[in-house]
């Protein structure tokens, strides 16, 4: 259940077409304070990413309030400034507020060295603030790599081919509350040109490797009892996300393989085999229920 979303947020219209009504669920009981979550959205298509995370957060019965955050040191080229001015706040405008949780998304800068990212200094300040001020922070895809590098000195490595598709994963510790209700094997979408390696994670006592994949390497890492949760995949992706990336790159003549385990019978004409939604919903419900209180 999501409360206090702006009534004219474009993502709401996207979700209502999917019969998801995040602003029309039952209001929380009197005296129930919604969980406050800050979403630092570093993805180029802001509205799509907003819908992706609202879709997951609204699957929980817990009341939540979502605040969209942006950077002063980065100007988005793919989202109208009017949208950002209307629906987003700069980090320095909200850093004195209380948030129970934070989500920091991926960003299309993974082939750059971290120090070469134009907003790296501001992002480090946000990482440090979240570590001190928020109960739990989810670092997604490139943000997971960036957070692991910033806090724990974990390097990322370029891949020969893009890790692209929907890959099977297993749990190293099924008793962790984040994965309560998960099956022994589950699928997560990945779309990245770099990876972090399990041997580097295992060298750091403060890190716990929660989940990995034989074909997609490290997926989930946790530190400080869940105050930092690093997820290298895109469990928030809508069904069409990898298809849109694939057809976009084909149209541009870029080298791209068909996403693995994605289309039915590996045939784009047969549509997408969505096999990650259920576990993505469980993961986010567990995060809200066990880590933000």
Catalytic residues: 141, 234, 236
Angle 38-96-129 from CA coordinates, rounded to 5°: 65
Region for 4 from its dihedrals, namely left if φ exceeds 0, alpha if ψ lies in -120 to 50, beta otherwise:
left
**Residues 15, 49: Cα–Cα separation, whole Å:** 12
DSSP annotation string for 79-102: S-HHHHHHHEEEHHHHTTS--SEE
For residue 176, the Cα-to-chain-centroid distance in whole angstroms is 19
Give the span between the Cα atoms of 195 and 187, in whole angstroms. 17
Number of H helices, E strands in the chain: 9, 11
In whole angstroms, what is the distance from residue 13 CA to residue 21 CA?
A: 9
Structure tokens that stand for 166 in this block = 């929907």
User: What is the separation of C-alpha 283 from the centre of its chain, rounded to a whole number of angstroms?
Assistant: 11
Instruction: Tell me the torsion sign for CA atoms 281, 286, 292, 293.
Output: positive
């Amino acid at each position: 259940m999501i409360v206090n979303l702006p009534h004219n947020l474009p993502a709401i219209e996207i979700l209502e077409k999917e019969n998801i009504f995040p602003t029309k669920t039952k209001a929380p009981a009197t005296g129930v304070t919604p969980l406050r979550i800050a979403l630092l959205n570093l993805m180029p298509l802001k509205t799509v990413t907003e819908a992706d995370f609202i879709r997951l957060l609204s699957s929980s019965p817990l009341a939540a309030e979502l605040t969209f955050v942006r950077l002063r040191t980065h100007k988005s080229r793919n989202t109208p400034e009017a949208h950002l001015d209307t629906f987003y706040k700069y980090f320095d405008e909200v850093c004195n507020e209380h948030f129970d949780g934070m989500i920091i998304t991926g960003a299309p800068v993974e082939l750059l060295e971290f120090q070469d990212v134009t907003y790296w200094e501001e992002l480090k300040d946000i990482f440090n603030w979240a570590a001190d001020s928020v109960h739990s922070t989810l670092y997604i895809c490139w943000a997971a790599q960036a957070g692991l590098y910033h806090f724990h000195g974990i390097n990322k490595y370029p891949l020969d081919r893009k890790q692209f598709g929907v890959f099977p994963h297993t749990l190293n510790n099924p008793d962790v509350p984040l994965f309560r209700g998960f099956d022994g094997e589950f699928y997560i979408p990945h779309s990245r040109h770099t990876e972090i390696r399990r041997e580097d994670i295992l060298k750091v006592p403060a890190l716990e490797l929660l989940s990995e994949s034989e074909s997609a390497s490290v997926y989930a890492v946790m530190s400080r009892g869940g105050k930092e949760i690093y997820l290298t995949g895109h469990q928030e992706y809508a069904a069409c996300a990898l298809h849109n990336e694939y057809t976009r790159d084909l149209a541009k003549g870029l080298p791209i393989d068909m996403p693995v385990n994605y289309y039915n019978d590996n045939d784009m004409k047969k549509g997408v085999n969505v096999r990650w939604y259920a576990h993505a919903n469980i993961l986010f419900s567990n995060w809200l229920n066990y880590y933000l209180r």
